[in-house]
Structure 1
Amino acid sequence: MNQPTHTRIRMFNTRDTYPNQALNNDLCQAVRAGNTVYVRGQVGTDFDGNLIGLGDPRAQAEQAMKNIKQLLEEAGSDLSHIVKTTTYLIDPRYREPVYQEVGKWLKGVFPISTGLVVSALGQPQWLVEIDVIAVIPDNWKREQA
């Protein structure tokens, strides 16, 4: 019997997460493929759909990092195993507060990083979106907090 090559974490349909848009896409928040974890772009919205930090890019980055931490742990990894981050900002003036916040979460990790300024994100209230790729080292077991 073939084993699945990947695990989908927190599956959802966009009609539920974007009720103001006519969408119907089946997606998930993260995918573990072998020892690699891909995390969907995270914003300042918690997993219950509540926006944290309206108008505050630092607070939205903090919530995005909380989401990333949780998703990586659900996938069997953690923040220390992030190898790449991509940060999307809708205003270059948000760079300092966002990167200062992300830096708190990734102190000592040293991932590669790409930062982009874009004209808009998926909802008008979103100021920042962060996605990551992480690994799960062979024979590594996450310490339980």
Structure 2
Amino acid sequence: MKKEPLLGAGMSQPAAPYSMALRVQANEMLYIAGQGPTAGDGSIVGAGDIEAQVRQVFANIQSLLEAAGADFNNVVFMNMYVTDIRFRETITMVRNEILEPPFPAATMVQIGSLASTDWLVEIDAIAALD
């Protein structure tokens, strides 16, 4: 797999760890549905704690990537849904611990509610496999 971050003419570098655009050459793609902060038994991890929830969400994504023989270096796009945009700093902190450049293209959106009223964050991802 080959990844190349792109920036349009006259555009500034993103303030957070993501690529404005990412050109990807790969043979196979993995689409990961929105992952919430749920444990293997279905219970919610970290009720009211955004850091605990985002760590669980990334752990769930990692488990799915590993099931496909991949890791976070294969992720090329992420949608992050939050119930409060002020969670951005905490999510960025955790992302910085997990992701490495070139960062995936990404979007963060504040929405009114998620699949459970106790969820503060949900993330879906697309990975390019070799």
Short-chain TM bin: 0.7 to 0.9
One-letter amino acid of the structure 2 residue matched with residue 133 of structure 1: I
The answer to whether 1:49 aligns with 2:42 is yes
Q: Does 1:112 align with 2:105?
A: yes
C-alpha distance in 2 between matches for 1:39 and 1:123: 19
The two structures have a TM-score, normalised by structure 2, of 0.75
In 1, distance between residues paired with 2:79 and 2:90?
A: 16
Does 2:127 match 1:125? no
Show the 5 A alignment for 1:1-145: 35-137=28-130
Is residue 82–residue 109 contact of structure 1 (8 Å, CA) maintained in 2?
Answer: no
Q: CA RMSD in A?
A: 1.2
Partners in 1 of 2:82 and 2:70 — Cα distance?
Answer: 26
For residues 47 and 56 of structure 1, the distance between their equivalents in structure 2, rounded to whole angstroms, comes to 18
Q: Could you report, residue by residue, the CA deviation over 1:39-91 in whole angstroms, capped at 9, with x for unpaired residues?
A: 11111112221211110111100000001001011012211110001100001
- Unpaired runs of 5+ residues, structure 2, are 1-26
State the structure with bigger RCO (CA 8 A, min sep 6), 1 or 2: 2
Q: Which has the larger radius of gyration?
A: 1
Q: Letter of the aligned partner of 1:94 in structure 2?
A: F
The answer to whether the Cα contact below 8 Å between 1:55 and 1:125 also exists between their aligned partners in 2 is: yes
Letter in 1 for 2:126: I
**Aligned-partner Cα distance in 2 for 1:135–1:76:** 11
TM-score (normalizing by structure 1) = 0.68
How many residue pairs align between the two structures?
104
**For 1:101-133, what per-residue CA distance to the aligned partner results, in whole angstroms no more than 9, with x for missing partners?**
122111334110111000110110000001100
Measured against aligned partners, the alpha-carbon deviations of 1:4-26 in whole angstroms (never above 9, x if no partner) come to xxxxxxxxxxxxxxxxxxxxxxx
Report percent identity of matched pairs.
38
Q: How far is the alpha carbon of 1:98 from its aligned partner?
A: 1.6
